[in-house]
Structure 1
Amino acid sequence: MELIVATHNLGKLEEMRRGLRDADPTVRLRPVTDFLSSLPDAPAENGSTYLENALIKAAFYADLLGRPVIADDGGLELTAFPNLLGLHTSRFFKGESDRAKNQEILSLFENTAASRKAHLHACLVYYRSSEDFLTAEGTLTGEIVPEKGEMGYGFDRIFWLPTEKKTLAQLPQSQRDGYSPRVQALLALIEQLRGEEHV
């Protein structure tokens, strides 16, 4: 099975590929850049939910390629600041490094006893047409802490897992990928596709 992923983020793509190696090594993921000589301007993700944004992106690239496409949307949700990030996570930060983004989040908690509880959320869509698509979601709950660890990317250094007593960035790669909401959603999506093969 070959699936096209609407991303040019190599970190995201490699995370998804690693998540599949043990679970379903027969699935091959390819980025849209493999099929386009130049990357067009991405569509405005102005939906009111993660699902709507993933659908906007998936429909855009599926129509462009004339083939089914997987797209995702997701974000970091802070319990203490429910309207700050979430759906707007990728647009909240403008061209900053991962470390700068993390420091900006940590600054929100300076001189406050606000809850540090946080959620990483991912929504994936496998899009064939506006009447024919599959969806899956994944969520990981943790806490925001000062940076620890050197692995991973994004918010991994500040996302603490109480059950592990470590941040995502302190976990071995295979273990970290297992916690990934994006990988969880991808595996659920592929399970749906496999189910269709046997209908």
Structure 2
Amino acid sequence: MTKWLIASNNSFKTADLQACLALAGIEAVGYTTQYPAVTFPAEGTASYAVNAQVKAEFLANLLHQPVIADDSGLELAALQNELGVTTQRDLASSSLSTNAAVLARLDDLPTDQRGAQMVTWLAAARPNHATIISSGTVTGQIVMTPRGQQSGGFDKIFQPTGQAGTLAEMPASKRLPLTHRGQAALVLQQKLLMENDR
């Protein structure tokens, strides 16, 4: 079985993606567990898929190892010209925490105007192989105040459609298959299996 390296310098994202990949039967570890940290190419502003692919191929070519990278974002129905592909960069400019910055942007909008989705694109790159791309999306709404201790990040303010609580209020066994990364990991697993069957 191929053991993948995760191309990220963000420890939270690495742990979350590692858990989602494990759910899909893909073994992966953060690349910094085996190699010194590197500076990745600057991300673009137009495409999750391109950002993930550039990052994965950069590290795979540098280390000559199989690498999975992701690019993710939060998209808000009320703020269609903000966040998305540039989510982390947009929120990093605020003096508030990321969740507080999102809640401040929505201020006192009612529930029916707090629609949101979290999006992930994954890229799996290996030397001498074509890069494989997958994606996942979870739709829902931003709650009024953070809730839950089962996970962090946007999970504390994101309530998926049809669910009674935020992602951070759910145990991992329920949460991970619902998340954008969990869905993208399952699609990636199917694509890797199809390639191996050729």
TM class by shorter-chain length? 0.7 to 0.9
Aligned CA distance change for structure 1 residues 160 and 5 (closer, same or farther; 3 Å): same
Tell me the CA shift for residue 159 of structure 1: 0.5
Tell me the CA shift for residue 13 of structure 1: 3.0
Structure 1 residue 156 and structure 2 residue 155: aligned? Answer: yes
Give TM-score, length-normalised by structure 2: 0.88
Matched letter for residue 57 of structure 2: A
1:123 to 121, 124, 128: 121
The worse-fitting range, judged by mean Cα deviation, of 45-54 and 77-86 is 45-54
Matched letter for residue 18 of structure 2: R
Tell me the CA shift for residue 162 of structure 1: 3.8
Matched letter for residue 190 of structure 2: E
Query: What does 1:33-72 correspond to in 2, within 5 Å?
Result: 33-36=32-35, 38-72=36-70
Deviations along 1:21-56, one digit per CA (max 9) or x if unpaired, are 4542xx3212211332x2122210125110111112
Matched letter for residue 62 of structure 2: L
1:101 to 98, 110, 115: 98
Give TM-score, length-normalised by structure 1: 0.87
Tell me the CA shift for residue 172 of structure 1: 1.4
Residue 139 of structure 1 aligns to a residue in which SS?
strand
C-alpha contact (below 8 Å) 1:35/1:65 kept by paired residues: no
| Structure 2 partner of 1:182 | 181
C-alpha contact (below 8 Å) 1:55/1:125 kept by paired residues: yes
Give me the CA root mean square deviation. Answer: 2.3
Tell me the CA shift for residue 111 of structure 1: 4.2
Residue 39 of structure 1 aligns to a residue in which SS?
coil
5+ residue gaps in structure 1?
none
Aligned CA distance change for structure 1 residues 40 and 21 (closer, same or farther; 3 Å): closer
Tell me the CA shift for residue 161 of structure 1: 2.4
Residue 14 of structure 2 aligns to a residue in which SS?
helix
5+ residue gaps in structure 2?
none
Aligned-pair identity in percent equals: 34
Distance 1:95 1:129 in 2: 36
Aligned CA distance change for structure 1 residues 84 and 125 (closer, same or farther; 3 Å): same
The number of equivalent residue pairs is 195
